[in-house]
Structure 1
Amino acid sequence: MTFEKMIQAMTPDVYASLKRAVELGKWPNGQTLSQEQRETSMRAVIAYEAANLPEEQRSGYIDRTKKDGSQHGKNPLEPQVLKILNEH
């Protein structure tokens, strides 16, 4: 099974269990996750969230909205325009 197919087949219960394991650093039975298991589980959690949850419910989401509805700062994913000035 490929990683993508595993994410598509993942149930909400499996997602919740993986997310909890990453948060605590151990499996439900108390066994510690190895670094590789933690990284793979984190990738699976992020991929599941991207495919199944709205942005504001995903891990690491930062609400940049002020009380007046405007945004704090710039969106880091927006491209920035650079101006190059030549002084001769």
Structure 2
Amino acid sequence: MSSFQQAIANMPEDVYQRLKTAVELGKWPDGAVLTPAQKESSMQAVLAWQAMHNDNPEHMTIGKGGELVMKSKSELRRQFRDEAEITRQKLN
């Protein structure tokens, strides 16, 4: 196992979440913009982490084992319907 793979295997989920958010937003939590090199390496780390740890992949992610997972609209509706509702308020 390479040192990159070892680092990803030992990466805590909260670090993965911060990297994923940084890639999605294009900036670090402090607001600094990711350089193209940072974005590329962060994306590689996010995809590698998902391939090793993602037991419950969302729509269009990499599942455990490295497979691309694309959930259908009906699967997504069922997933969100089964989640507990936090609150519902009338806006009028």
Q: Specify if TM > 0.5.
A: yes
Q: What is the CA–CA distance in structure 1 between the aligned matches of 2:74 and 2:14, rounded to whole Å?
A: 34
Once the two structures are TM-superposed, the CA of residue 38 in structure 1 deviates from its matched residue by 0.4
Instruction: Tell me which protein shows more strand as a share of its residues.
Output: 2
Greater Rg by CA? 1
Calculate the aligned-residue CA RMSD, in Å.
Answer: 2.4
Contact kept in structure 1, 2:8 and 2:49, CA below 8 Å: yes
Instruction: Tell me which protein shows more helix as a share of its residues.
Output: 2
Q: Is residue 2:31 matched to residue 1:30?
A: yes
The unaligned stretches of length 5 or more in structure 2 are 63-68, 76-92
Partner in structure 2 of residue 50 of structure 1: 51
Q: Is residue 2:67 matched to residue 1:59?
A: no
Q: What is the CA–CA distance in structure 1 between the aligned matches of 2:54 and 2:3, rounded to whole Å?
A: 21
The size of the alignment, in residue pairs, is 67
The unaligned stretches of length 5 or more in structure 1 are 68-88
Stretch moving more, 16-25 or 1-10: 1-10
In 2 relative to 1, CA 65–10 (structure 1 residues): closer, same or farther, beyond 3 Å?
Answer: same
